[in-house]
Amino acid sequence: MATAFPDPWIRLYSLKANGLPALVREIAAAGFGANAVSSGEIALARRAGLAPAQIALEGIGKTPADLALAARLAAGGEPLLWVSLESTEDAAALASLASRKARIDVLVRVNPGVAPETHHSLAVGAPDAKFGVSPEELAAVIDAGGGPNGPLRWRGIHLHVGSQLGAVDAWRSAFRVGLRLLELNRASLPHFDTLDAGGGFPAPMNDADSDSDSMPSAAIFAKETARELRELPANSRPKRLAIEPGRSLVAASGWLIGRVLHVRDREPTLVVLDTGMTELIRPALYGAVHPMRALTSLGRPTEGLEPDSTMVRVDGPICESTDTFGVASLPPLARDDIVAIGAVGAYGSAMFSSYNGRPRPPEVAWDGERLTLLRRRGSLASLP
């Protein structure tokens, strides 16, 4: 990612994908700041060693407490990198807390009204999405925040068209919208110099993706942005450009390990694991597909073996009919066999639930040589 978007691009890791402080420390060491959507995520980023100036506060659901934290940090001489405003209400609320002696840098999130090449549940830049304001509403947001000379320093535009993008067309179209809005408003807003293009870079989510050239790389997205920038005079280009990848950085690094509880003679064969939607809700939530591999078959390790495989349905143990991981080609399985579910480094741990009274599972890192405990197994006493 740093190769495709090198300095001076601002690279912000989207903590909502996975906020484990140990993981965030590793990503920060690679030259990333953080994109947080709450006071809690700001706390996780700071726990990982990031300074407020390396953290942007974004997200549609910023509470009064979130905005008050941004104001306190600015008043204390440790302002956040910026706050991305989602509405006139956001702007008015933050302006009421801010001080002209410690102006807060803000971006305005604009919904570009494009058709992202992704699952409809991930298309946050579509015209009917709840995120951001229309380009026509930008002036109203600025007025609600006190105008050009109020307590907010208007720094630019924030965009995000969607996650797991399968092509660059929507990204390019949104980038053009952002560039146009910056140019139109620069005369009245002297600090309007920043364009945050968001994330959306795809990560392989199944074995077919891993071997396919059809998914655009980060370098292709970077090439398209460079092409759009070259179309502008040098003095019209944004002085600051940012991206905020999440899933693409961490998805492939995570595996969920489950143990077989039941094998039922159905059509297709049904395998029930001891891990389910509480540990990985994406398949149940919107039909996400993850690779699945058996680590043992009938009690024997599968490494080095090529046992016959058949298509089976893999479900979890939760008392919901939607608790399923989908179908996969797996060898014969029996109780206590081990199955690994891949590409769960993003939105697995982060979306954990204790539904059905299930404590959080442990999380362990492996660097190829040693295991490191990142989070201990939850206890019954830790349940709400």
Active-site positions? 319
Which residues are paired to 232 by β-bridges?
Answer: none
**Residue 139 burial (C-beta neighbours within 10 Å; 0-12, 13-18, 19+):** middle
Comparing C-alpha atoms, which of 277, 276, 281 is closest to residue 258? 276
| Gap between the Cα atoms of 25 and 368, Å rounded | 19
- Residue 48: DSSP 8-state: T
- Under 8 Å between Cβ of 88 and 141: yes
Provide, for the chain, the percentages of residues in helix, strand and coil under a 3-state DSSP scheme, each rounded to the nearest 5: 30, 25, 45
| Gap between the Cα atoms of 50 and 270, Å rounded | 46
Which run of H or E residues covers position 225? helix 218-230
Torsional sign, CA 230, 232, 236, 237? negative
| Gap between the Cα atoms of 14 and 84, Å rounded | 14
CA atoms within 13 A on the CB side of 320: 15
Comparing C-alpha atoms, which of 358, 275, 267, 282 is closest to residue 313? 267
